[in-house]
Chains A and B, each alone.
Chain A
């Protein structure tokens, strides 16, 4: 990301600062903020019955005649080249149809990088794929074996012989830090922030904290492995994928294989967990290449080891946070510097240093982050990218500062919570973080906490309580579209190439559409998950619900216009403009005189139409450049630490969220809890282990990479302020990622309260506590 981008975005922000808010999207608050029937209720997910019966079909489960199974052979060096490649034994093995290597792979362009200006690009890295003997990371695919059964492909893959000539590889973080680079921008923000004289203010502060916090490399590890079932038919490429980037994958595959966009079809109705990992990686590309070369359909299901070798995770981070406060706890200085790994071929930012820029009204800021370029697999976004590691550092530092001052940690936040953007001065669209703190504190019983660490005990167990703020920005993607079709029975059918990975996408948009069109829930169906449907952006950045809602809302306005035209002059609606009618009771009616109304069924029948279809599109998200739009949360944790073993048992987690209005209390609760449980894993167990000598990941199974299991997960309470964001569609900001933020800090702060030990490195394993 470039200086040019900074200049453009800075320019747009400056202009929008002068533009009246009413002219921007959300200038008039969405009427559905208050007018709710289905929205805000407790709806079970619509795909629940199919999922519990095991009939929801995932990517690796699409039946296909003549199918070949692909298995990958991965490089065992980090940098260098292949000097000898013997595939003869593999090719001679029973059932093998093809061994593809750089010697016979078709020509493929480099993947187009994911970017804010191209929603049809899905490349997480920009390296050529299987085009030469060059090796760029340990685990890169050097051969694809296709056989008529998986067992035969797996066996034959072991017969491929590869000899390498290794070059010196850069695989050590500490060494790489010395030549780290400093990007100009992070996502859409400028990287370097220097406001006030933070160094001087820190030196003069009555209280100060200056510490380094580290978080490890982490991997998403969805339970469904990455998989695709791929077939070429009449020159067209059909990919049944597990992806949260349907259109971007289709667009990228078209580029890579030199096809017209309409000749690539990507279908992904169900995704077995994504969390940022289910984008386009080398496996879909290699699978498509092998299918083309073999002339037969191919199924690739990554093994857990292949997932770790081919699908990037969240970079490790090292963050220095320095806070200076006056005697009253008011922040005078906030310094946040740090390092993450981002190879030059890697696309996704881990923008941890954005966290502290919006939460607290410090008088001065000195913030910048650097990247270490190593010969490793590219990163990807992982749930709550940036803010998840960022809140660990900032929120532990806040807890340390509170302790140094002798102030209650909630009170410290109350004195510093921002009332507008602390950097730009832009107004908040809505923010009630302290209301979330009040809710959470009451629920967990914060008054039971003893400020002095190590003073609550039950036998060998030391008991503690901690809290932390979470935060994640609001995002809405432009260009997402949705089709609404009204049929002769007056039912509405919504279609969009959106994604379902467990968020309840169709469930919530069904509620939305019912309320938008004044229909009962059972008159609405929602179809998603296929590139043949109207274009939708990716499911990421907690943007999908808002983007789809804006698209459906836009479609509903077109629908009103077209219905009035269709109704003609022989209708009680005659003479009314679209702005003078509203949807109600399965039709349209005059806002002024509700007696003037006509149903969809009646309008269509009179026009002799079987159905009416319109497509609406979400516009540019200018509101996020004028307003400071961030969700916030207050996370609380109560836990025990064994004095004997250092074992941590988390007894309670409470998350109180300020994310605008909640659309479906049942699925939202699950989203928040899910995010918090990933935060719990980050706090206690998760770590991708890298052998820095070889650049090889060691923890490539679920036995080595520990995610929370049932016994690790306590009863979790989820609360919300439910205050509408007047600038957001439906008054709601995204909720998918924020749950993860702040949790690791709340756990670490509770550990400090229990034991008096301040651990600044994640995960909080036993060895760090005894």
Chain B
């Protein structure tokens, strides 16, 4: 079964060892998805697999057969331009070197969906009280799997707040 990557169907690789990350970067030349550690510790390789965030370095390409993979290159859709969150990252300077950025953005987009459907987190004060109130602590906890070494954390959180505020309208 093919893998759908940003809407295009690609055949699964012949070598079963190939991670989804290496399929994207080395075989499809979709290098927007970054390799930071190849061990599931940094989040730079985060992509959306059927809408959920996954670490593509810990996902075998074969696991994505029949699934829909969306990467940073596919976020703006066919319109081109920039996704709301991409624009907010620029406005809030939620990046410096730019290497963790695609992973942060993909992660945050899926995180917004998790918040919307009411998934609790470690910092949710009352898990029985319905959907968690969006606070900076909630965003920070839920984004803690995405490391940034340049220290753009404040800007990233502000950009995500901008996106959440915009989409809540």
Give which listed residue, A55, A151, A304, A710, contacts B144 with CB less than 8 A.
Answer: A710
Please tell me if B42 contacts chain A, counting CB pairs below 8 Å.
Answer: yes
Residues on the A chain within 8 Å of B96, using CB = 273, 501-504, 670-671, 674
- The answer to whether A47 touches B98 (Cβ under 8 A) is yes
The distance in angstroms between the C-alpha atoms of A670 and B90, with both chains bound, is: 12
- Closest chain-A Cβ to B141's Cβ sits at a distance in Å of 5
Please tell me if B35 contacts chain A, counting CB pairs below 8 Å.
Answer: yes
- The answer to whether A151 touches B93 (Cβ under 8 A) is no
The distance in angstroms between the C-alpha atoms of A14 and B72, with both chains bound, is: 58
- Closest chain-A Cβ to B98's Cβ sits at a distance in Å of 3
Q: A674-B151, A702-B37, A711-B140 are in contact. Are A51 and B157 (CB under 8 A)?
A: no
- With most chain A CB atoms within 10 A of its CB, the pick from B38, B82, B97, B137 is B97
Q: A224-B97, A272-B97 are in contact. Are A63 and B29 (CB under 8 A)?
A: yes
Contact with B along A255-276 (1 / 0, CB 8 A): 0000000000000001111110
Residues A64-78 near B (CB distance < 8 A)? none
- The answer to whether B154 touches A713 (Cβ under 8 A) is yes
Please tell me if A49 contacts chain B, counting CB pairs below 8 Å.
Answer: yes
- The answer to whether B32 touches A150 (Cβ under 8 A) is no
- The answer to whether A52 touches B140 (Cβ under 8 A) is no
- Closest chain-A Cβ to B164's Cβ sits at a distance in Å of 15
- The answer to whether B137 touches A711 (Cβ under 8 A) is yes
Residues on the A chain within 8 Å of B26, using CB = 149-150
Residues on the B chain within 8 Å of A711, using CB = 123, 137, 140-141, 144
- The answer to whether A223 touches B93 (Cβ under 8 A) is no
Residues B58-100 near A (CB distance < 8 A)? 71-73, 76, 82, 86-87, 89-91, 93, 95-100
- Closest chain-B Cβ to A203's Cβ sits at a distance in Å of 43
Q: A151-B22, A670-B155, A710-B141 are in contact. Are A223 and B42 (CB under 8 A)?
A: yes
Q: A53-B72, A225-B35 are in contact. Are A709 and B97 (CB under 8 A)?
A: no
Please tell me if A443 contacts chain B, counting CB pairs below 8 Å.
Answer: no
> A222 — nearest CB in chain B belongs to which residue?
B149
Give which listed residue, A47, A53, A273, contacts B86 with CB less than 8 A.
Answer: A53
The distance in angstroms between the C-alpha atoms of A401 and B22, with both chains bound, is: 55
Please tell me if B110 contacts chain A, counting CB pairs below 8 Å.
Answer: no
Residues A679-737 near B (CB distance < 8 A)? 701-703, 707-711, 713, 715-716
The distance in angstroms between the C-alpha atoms of A272 and B31, with both chains bound, is: 13
- Closest chain-B Cβ to A542's Cβ sits at a distance in Å of 15
The distance in angstroms between the C-alpha atoms of A556 and B105, with both chains bound, is: 40
Contact with B along A160-192 (1 / 0, CB 8 A): 000000000000000000000000000000000
Residues on the B chain within 8 Å of A667, using CB = 93
- The answer to whether A225 touches B98 (Cβ under 8 A) is no
Residues A280-314 near B (CB distance < 8 A)? 301, 303-304
- Closest chain-A Cβ to B149's Cβ sits at a distance in Å of 5
Interface range, A side: 35 or more
- The answer to whether A61 touches B90 (Cβ under 8 A) is no
Q: A58-B31, A272-B34 are in contact. Are A49 and B149 (CB under 8 A)?
A: no
- Closest chain-A Cβ to B169's Cβ sits at a distance in Å of 22
- The answer to whether A273 touches B150 (Cβ under 8 A) is yes
> B32 — nearest CB in chain A belongs to which residue?
A54
Query: Chain B's interface: helix, strand, loop or mixed, by majority?
Result: loop
Please tell me if B156 contacts chain A, counting CB pairs below 8 Å.
Answer: yes
> A299 — nearest CB in chain B belongs to which residue?
B26
- The answer to whether B97 touches A502 (Cβ under 8 A) is yes
> A57 — nearest CB in chain B belongs to which residue?
B31
- Closest chain-B Cβ to A517's Cβ sits at a distance in Å of 26
Please tell me if B56 contacts chain A, counting CB pairs below 8 Å.
Answer: no
- The answer to whether B147 touches A707 (Cβ under 8 A) is yes
- Closest chain-B Cβ to A635's Cβ sits at a distance in Å of 14
> B76 — nearest CB in chain A belongs to which residue?
A53
Residues on the A chain within 8 Å of B151, using CB = 670, 673-678, 708, 713
- Closest chain-B Cβ to A423's Cβ sits at a distance in Å of 33
How many residues on the B side are at the interface (Cβ–Cβ under 8 A)? 61
The distance in angstroms between the C-alpha atoms of A63 and B123, with both chains bound, is: 43
Q: A56-B98, A61-B25, A702-B42 are in contact. Are A710 and B157 (CB under 8 A)?
A: yes
- The answer to whether A270 touches B97 (Cβ under 8 A) is yes
Q: A273-B149, A670-B152 are in contact. Are A54 and B97 (CB under 8 A)?
A: no
Please tell me if B139 contacts chain A, counting CB pairs below 8 Å.
Answer: yes
Residues B125-169 near A (CB distance < 8 A)? 136-137, 139-141, 143-157
- The answer to whether B90 touches A48 (Cβ under 8 A) is yes
- Closest chain-B Cβ to A315's Cβ sits at a distance in Å of 20
- Closest chain-A Cβ to B123's Cβ sits at a distance in Å of 8
Give which listed residue, A53, A224, A673, A708, contacts B32 with CB less than 8 A.
Answer: A53
> B15 — nearest CB in chain A belongs to which residue?
A151
> A47 — nearest CB in chain B belongs to which residue?
B98
- The answer to whether B41 touches A52 (Cβ under 8 A) is no
- The answer to whether A272 touches B156 (Cβ under 8 A) is no
The distance in angstroms between the C-alpha atoms of A372 and B123, with both chains bound, is: 45
Contact with B along A218-243 (1 / 0, CB 8 A): 00111111000000000000000000
Q: A54-B31, A225-B35, A225-B36 are in contact. Are A674 and B100 (CB under 8 A)?
A: no
Residues on the A chain within 8 Å of B15, using CB = 149, 151
Please tell me if B112 contacts chain A, counting CB pairs below 8 Å.
Answer: no
- Closest chain-B Cβ to A746's Cβ sits at a distance in Å of 16
Residues on the A chain within 8 Å of B137, using CB = 711
Please tell me if A159 contacts chain B, counting CB pairs below 8 Å.
Answer: no
Give which listed residue, A155, A271, A703, A713, contacts B97 with CB less than 8 A.
Answer: A271
The distance in angstroms between the C-alpha atoms of A78 and B168, with both chains bound, is: 58
- The answer to whether A151 touches B32 (Cβ under 8 A) is no
- The answer to whether B154 touches A702 (Cβ under 8 A) is no
Residues on the A chain within 8 Å of B105, using CB = 52
Residues on the A chain within 8 Å of B140, using CB = 710-711, 713
The distance in angstroms between the C-alpha atoms of A271 and B150, with both chains bound, is: 11
Residues on the B chain within 8 Å of A715, using CB = 136, 154
- Closest chain-B Cβ to A306's Cβ sits at a distance in Å of 11
- The answer to whether B37 touches A304 (Cβ under 8 A) is yes
- The answer to whether A54 touches B150 (Cβ under 8 A) is no
- The answer to whether B90 touches A49 (Cβ under 8 A) is yes
Please tell me if A44 contacts chain B, counting CB pairs below 8 Å.
Answer: yes
Residues on the A chain within 8 Å of B89, using CB = 48, 52
Contact with B along A15-41 (1 / 0, CB 8 A): 000000000000000000000000000
Give which listed residue, B86, B136, B143, contacts A52 with CB less than 8 A.
Answer: B86
- Closest chain-A Cβ to B144's Cβ sits at a distance in Å of 4
Contact with A along B39-69 (1 / 0, CB 8 A): 1011010000000000000000000000000
- The answer to whether A673 touches B37 (Cβ under 8 A) is no
Please tell me if A195 contacts chain B, counting CB pairs below 8 Å.
Answer: no
Please tell me if B18 contacts chain A, counting CB pairs below 8 Å.
Answer: yes
- The answer to whether A54 touches B149 (Cβ under 8 A) is no
The distance in angstroms between the C-alpha atoms of A676 and B151, with both chains bound, is: 8
Residues on the B chain within 8 Å of A674, using CB = 96, 150-152
Residues on the A chain within 8 Å of B71, using CB = 54
Please tell me if A60 contacts chain B, counting CB pairs below 8 Å.
Answer: yes
- Closest chain-A Cβ to B45's Cβ sits at a distance in Å of 11
Residues on the B chain within 8 Å of A673, using CB = 151-154
> B27 — nearest CB in chain A belongs to which residue?
A149
Residues on the A chain within 8 Å of B86, using CB = 49, 52-53
The distance in angstroms between the C-alpha atoms of A681 and B147, with both chains bound, is: 12
Q: List 11 A-B contacts (CB under 8 A).
A: A49-B90, A52-B102, A54-B34, A54-B102, A58-B99, A63-B29, A151-B22, A223-B149, A224-B97, A673-B152, A707-B149
Name B's A-contacting residues (CB within 8 A).
Answer: 15, 17-18, 22, 25-26, 29-39, 41-42, 44, 71-73, 76, 82, 86-87, 89-91, 93, 95-102, 105, 123, 136-137, 139-141, 143-157
7 shortest interchain CB distances as A-B pairs: A54-B32, A502-B96, A51-B98, A674-B151, A272-B99, A677-B151, A502-B97
Q: Apart from A54-B71, A716-B154, what are 5 other A-B pairs with CB-CB below 8 Å?
A: A55-B32, A225-B35, A701-B41, A711-B123, A711-B144
